[in-house]
A and B are shown apart, each in its own frame.
Chain A
Amino acid sequence: MIGSLDARIPSGPIEENWDIHRFEMKLVAPHNKRKFHVLIVGSGLAGASAAATLGELGYQVTLVTFHDSPRRAHSIAAQGGINAAKNYKNDGDSVYRLFYDTVKGGDYRSREANVYRLAEVSVDIIDQCTAQGVPFAREYGGLLDNRSFGGAQVSRTFYARGQTGQQLLLGAYQALERQVRLGTVKVLNRVEMLDLVLKDGRAVGIVCRDLLRGSVFSLSGHAVVLATGGYANAFFLSTNAMNSNVTAAWRAHRRGALFANPCFTQIHPTCIPAGDEFQSKLTLMSESLRNDGRIWVPKNFGDERPPAQIPPEDRDYFLERRYPAYGNLVPRDVASRAAKREVDAGRGVGPLKNGVYLDFADAIARLGRHAIEERYSNLFQMYERITGEDPYEMPMRIYPAVHYTMGGLWVDYNLMSNVPGLYVLGEANFSDHGANRLGASALMQGLADGYFVLPYTIGDYLAGLLGTQPVPTNDAVFAETERAVDAQVRQLLSVNGSRSVDWFHRELGKILWDNCGMERSAETLSKALAEIPPLREEFHNDVRVLGDDESMNQSLERAGRVSDFLEFSELMCRDALHREESCGGHFRTEHQTEEGEALRDDEHFSYVAAWEFNGVGAEPTLHQEPLQFDNVKLAQRSYK
């Protein structure tokens, strides 16, 4: 049973929280570090940076990833950029402003202390990555270049062409491989964590499946770190990589880790609209495009003219009209809902009438085609590949899609979950983005957690374990958990029903998108909650998984993940139903201002909702972590 949630936020002025805390935490002496074995799951920005740094410090690290190389983690796909309060542009940026923007952008549902620390270390991240050789964009003088991003009025976003995520991850991956060579870190590719092992309430290891040989085995360590990414794929169609999933987090949740704010999901405004029913995933067009692209729809319904021939007076630049101050750069949730309104109103463009225009004609006229190529060539190319249309010639068609999940496992200021010894980093935790994440701050958070937070905070826990040894993997707790995992694998193989895993996933996706998507209401959510359990039932009675568990079996892998989505999505809807307010990505139609903006209820819902697992389908227990705002004053977000 979990007592009251202690976020362990240090006392004192927010500017000094982190310094004081770092001083107060226990340290592990260098010669003792190698006596500790840390298990890290996930090789994304968070996992790879943590593994590399812990390895450098001298800990024994084993890193597990289901990818065939750490460098393939989903972070690789991030395009736009990473924020940092460097104020290189001399446009009035500061740690405090980044902190403020992030809390405001998150619609006042995040923890001030965490966000402030994030803003503080953001500066070190850029230094670190540059030193590693990340080829950030440069100006002719050889200095670093910046671009502006949604939700901010300063240019604080660092970028590397349209591949910022790839370049940052390569930096972390290379640091990681360096440790592999030095022998401090072991990397297990194509190995999936399927359960968390607890002994006396502490996380002592994980049970994994070797995806090549099918064998189930255990790893034991003094602490377990999950950096396993987000759960946007619950919606089936999302911008996430096909294999991203909630399994690791969910199985930890089943073992007692609290899941916080699962209903805070982000819909990204600029994605390529679905083309046909075979669509396997949606592709993001980086938010940075909103720097130079103008978003519009035809004023008159059913205007069939090709975009170029629609004169300005017949165009509605709805974002610029509604939000003069931020224009096309309003935060994602705002931009997404605005676009949805236009399409729902029937002004959608494209063959399926399911998009709005993102137009570069003006920018090309103003800056010349070359400048635009410089900035976005690979994005334009990507768009052209997928749609067969040339964005230099005709405007892009874009539409919102599920993109990121602010919710995640609950963690305290040290990034440790309520389960002692279980740390959660990156998108997998709920920590810093509140109800909505600003563009270019997930990369920032992932690296902050891995490079600059965990390496300090984990020592505080490990110091207490000095002299103890990891629980042997032949201990009963491991055997037990292995058996449980084995059983589940066999169960999935034994059903041999009639429907494919993907079919169930698509069904689940439809339910979530229609009822728990960009707009939710008590009615739609109850509907979803009524539909999910039967679907889950059907899954376990009628799913068909062929092949064996002695060799690579991708449908078996997916089956496990989808069965977790089926359990998890119920929690997501419950959370959405319980939160009787609109904030950030969570928009309840019952709660909106007359202009149709999100309407928060700070009096009743200014807390983190952390859910405790009580069994599949059973009502979870709600734990509340109240949020205090001593430094930013709560206000109705306005981007007008």
Chain B
Amino acid sequence: MPELTTEDQRAGADAASILEKDTGAPIVAPPRKRPWIVEFYGSGVGKKWVMAVTGIILLGYVLAHMIGNLKVYLGPEEINRYGDWLRTLGEPAAPRTVVLWLMRTTLIVAFVLHIHSAYSLTRMNQRARPVKYQGPRDYVAANYASRTMRWTGVIIGLFVIFHLMDLTWGAGGAKFHRGDPYQNMLRSFERVPVAVVYVIANLALALHIYHGAWSMFQSLGWNNPRFNAWRRYFATAFAVIIAIGNVSFPVMVQAAVIH
């Protein structure tokens, strides 16, 4: 322990400062103020909130998309008309496909933000425990879904890329006719491996939602004894519906119910 003169002490530098680490000494001044929105997104809780909000948008899309796709059961013209409707949505007020592009942009932005915050939070959490537990962990509350969010997330991400190539850009290898989603889907799903990919991806999605659609309430602070129980039901129901709906398409094509 170095010698300390009274001068040091009056300057506040006494053995205390030498033991700084154990003392919980004065809090370091916060970094210079950045724009509040940056501040907000800079924090973990803020990112989590963004994830929740973008999560909701994505949920909304996935649901709407599934409902739209259910029209395949009503036959080609139905779903194709739906496709046209999407493109002509908002006409004549807005020119053709503008509204659709607006929706797409929101979707893309949401997706990007969602993934970016997911990524940086994951990094943050890895840094928070440099040395892992050396013995086996025994989880009580954390379920499979919550512990695999990152993986299911990645799977979904990859799936979406493939899916776009496959059914939007027609780069998926199958014969492709722009504006004829029914046929495109049929040709694509007739290939067993593709069907399998779709099934797996959508199960991953369901798992992701099973935790996500509950967890988002917490992130947003929507907590009230009156409806807390329902948050779980909601997430479960949502996940199940998406799973059944989306998985049904490749399965039904394989089962030649759709042809």
Interface residues of A (CB under 8 A from B): 35, 37, 60, 62, 68, 177, 180-183, 186-191, 208, 210, 212, 215-220, 469-474
Q: How far is the CA of A208 from the CA of B25 in the complex (A)?
A: 19
CB nearest neighbor in B for A215: B1
- Of B5, B10, B23, B27, which contacts A186 at CB under 8 A? B23
Q: How far is the CA of A220 from the CA of B14 in the complex (A)?
A: 9
B16 touching A188, Cβ below 8 Å: yes
A–B Cβ pairs within 8 angstroms, 23 of them: A68-B22, A180-B23, A180-B25, A180-B26, A181-B26, A186-B12, A187-B25, A188-B15, A188-B22, A189-B22, A189-B23, A191-B19, A191-B22, A210-B19, A212-B22, A217-B15, A219-B16, A220-B4, A220-B6, A473-B4, A473-B9, A473-B15, A474-B4
CB nearest neighbor in A for B19: A188
Give the residues in chain A near B12, CB-CB below 8 Å.
60, 183, 186
A218 touching B24, Cβ below 8 Å: no
CB nearest neighbor in B for A70: B24
Give the residues in chain B near A180, CB-CB below 8 Å.
23-26
Which A-B residue pairs are the 10 nearest by beta carbons?
A217-B1, A186-B16, A183-B26, A474-B3, A189-B22, A469-B6, A472-B6, A473-B4, A215-B1, A217-B15
Q: How far is the CA of A54 from the CA of B12 in the complex (A)?
A: 16
Given contacts A62-B14, A180-B24, A217-B1, contact A37 B19 (CB under 8 A): no
B19 touching A473, Cβ below 8 Å: no
A186 touching B1, Cβ below 8 Å: no
Give the residues in chain B near A37, CB-CB below 8 Å.
9-10
Given contacts A218-B15, A474-B5, contact A469 B10 (CB under 8 A): yes
Kindly provide the distance from the CB of A197 to the nearest chain B CB, expressed in whole angstroms: 13
Give the residues in chain A near B6, CB-CB below 8 Å.
220, 469-472
Give the residues in chain B near A183, CB-CB below 8 Å.
12, 26
A219 touching B10, Cβ below 8 Å: no
Give the residues in chain B near A187, CB-CB below 8 Å.
16, 23-25
Kindly provide the distance from the CB of B29 to the nearest chain A CB, expressed in whole angstroms: 11
A470 touching B23, Cβ below 8 Å: no
Kindly provide the distance from the CB of A31 to the nearest chain B CB, expressed in whole angstroms: 15
Kindly provide the distance from the CB of A59 to the nearest chain B CB, expressed in whole angstroms: 13
B23 touching A181, Cβ below 8 Å: no
Give the residues in chain B near A62, CB-CB below 8 Å.
14, 16
Give the residues in chain B near A189, CB-CB below 8 Å.
22-24
Give the residues in chain B near A186, CB-CB below 8 Å.
12, 14, 16-17, 23, 25
Give the residues in chain B near A190, CB-CB below 8 Å.
22
Per DSSP, chain B at the interface is: loop
Give the residues in chain A near B10, CB-CB below 8 Å.
35, 37, 60, 469
Report, as a range, how many residues of chain B touch the other chain: 20 to 34
Residues 1-51 (chain B) with a chain A CB within 8 angstroms: 1, 3-6, 9-10, 12, 14-19, 22-27
Interface residues of B (CB under 8 A from A): 1, 3-6, 9-10, 12, 14-19, 22-27
Q: How far is the CA of A258 from the CA of B3 in the complex (A)?
A: 31
Kindly provide the distance from the CB of A61 to the nearest chain B CB, expressed in whole angstroms: 10
Give the residues in chain B near A473, CB-CB below 8 Å.
3-5, 9, 14-15
CB nearest neighbor in B for A35: B10
Q: How far is the CA of A582 from the CA of B18 in the complex (A)?
A: 51
Q: How far is the CA of A186 from the CA of B6 in the complex (A)?
A: 16
4 further A-B contacts with Cβ under 8 Å, apart from A182-B26, A215-B1, A217-B1, are A68-B22, A183-B12, A189-B23, A219-B15
Kindly provide the distance from the CB of B14 to the nearest chain A CB, expressed in whole angstroms: 6
Q: How far is the CA of A472 from the CA of B12 in the complex (A)?
A: 14
Give the residues in chain A near B14, CB-CB below 8 Å.
62, 186, 219-220, 473
CB nearest neighbor in B for A210: B19
Kindly provide the distance from the CB of A175 to the nearest chain B CB, expressed in whole angstroms: 14
Give the residues in chain A near B1, CB-CB below 8 Å.
210, 215-217
Q: How far is the CA of A219 from the CA of B14 in the complex (A)?
A: 7
A188 touching B23, Cβ below 8 Å: yes
Kindly provide the distance from the CB of B13 to the nearest chain A CB, expressed in whole angstroms: 10
Q: How far is the CA of A68 from the CA of B19 in the complex (A)?
A: 13
Most chain A CB inside 10 Å of its own CB: which residue of B6, B17, B18, B27: B6
CB nearest neighbor in A for B27: A181
Give the residues in chain A near B19, CB-CB below 8 Å.
188, 191, 210
Most chain A CB inside 10 Å of its own CB: which residue of B9, B18, B25: B9
Give the residues in chain A near B15, CB-CB below 8 Å.
188, 208, 217-219, 473
CB nearest neighbor in A for B26: A183
Q: How far is the CA of A468 from the CA of B6 in the complex (A)?
A: 11
Q: How far is the CA of A217 from the CA of B9 in the complex (A)?
A: 14
Give the residues in chain B near A181, CB-CB below 8 Å.
26-27
CB nearest neighbor in B for A211: B22
Q: How far is the CA of A208 from the CA of B15 in the complex (A)?
A: 10
Q: How far is the CA of A289 from the CA of B188 in the complex (A)?
A: 75
Q: How far is the CA of A177 from the CA of B9 in the complex (A)?
A: 20
Give the residues in chain A near B22, CB-CB below 8 Å.
68, 188-191, 212
Q: How far is the CA of A191 from the CA of B21 in the complex (A)?
A: 13
Q: How far is the CA of A470 from the CA of B25 in the complex (A)?
A: 22
CB nearest neighbor in A for B16: A186
Give the residues in chain A near B25, CB-CB below 8 Å.
180, 186-187
Most chain B CB inside 10 Å of its own CB: which residue of A177, A189, A190, A217: A217
Q: How far is the CA of A551 from the CA of B12 in the complex (A)?
A: 26
A472 touching B5, Cβ below 8 Å: yes
A220 touching B9, Cβ below 8 Å: yes
CB nearest neighbor in A for B5: A472
Kindly provide the distance from the CB of A140 to the nearest chain B CB, expressed in whole angstroms: 19
Q: How far is the CA of A206 from the CA of B43 in the complex (A)?
A: 43
Q: How far is the CA of A396 from the CA of B37 in the complex (A)?
A: 58
Q: How far is the CA of A190 from the CA of B24 in the complex (A)?
A: 12
Q: How far is the CA of A186 from the CA of B12 in the complex (A)?
A: 9
Most chain B CB inside 10 Å of its own CB: which residue of A35, A37, A471: A37
Q: How far is the CA of A28 from the CA of B38 in the complex (A)?
A: 47
Q: How far is the CA of A640 from the CA of B244 in the complex (A)?
A: 78
Give the residues in chain B near A474, CB-CB below 8 Å.
3-5
CB nearest neighbor in B for A37: B9
Q: How far is the CA of A470 from the CA of B12 in the complex (A)?
A: 13
Give the residues in chain A near B3, CB-CB below 8 Å.
473-474
Q: How far is the CA of A174 from the CA of B27 in the complex (A)?
A: 15
Give the residues in chain B near A472, CB-CB below 8 Å.
4-6
CB nearest neighbor in B for A474: B3
Give the residues in chain B near A218, CB-CB below 8 Å.
4, 15
CB nearest neighbor in B for A180: B24
Q: How far is the CA of A181 from the CA of B28 in the complex (A)?
A: 9
Q: How far is the CA of A380 from the CA of B10 in the complex (A)?
A: 51
Give the residues in chain A near B9, CB-CB below 8 Å.
37, 220, 470, 473
Kindly provide the distance from the CB of B26 to the nearest chain A CB, expressed in whole angstroms: 4
CB nearest neighbor in B for A187: B23
Q: How far is the CA of A277 from the CA of B23 in the complex (A)?
A: 38
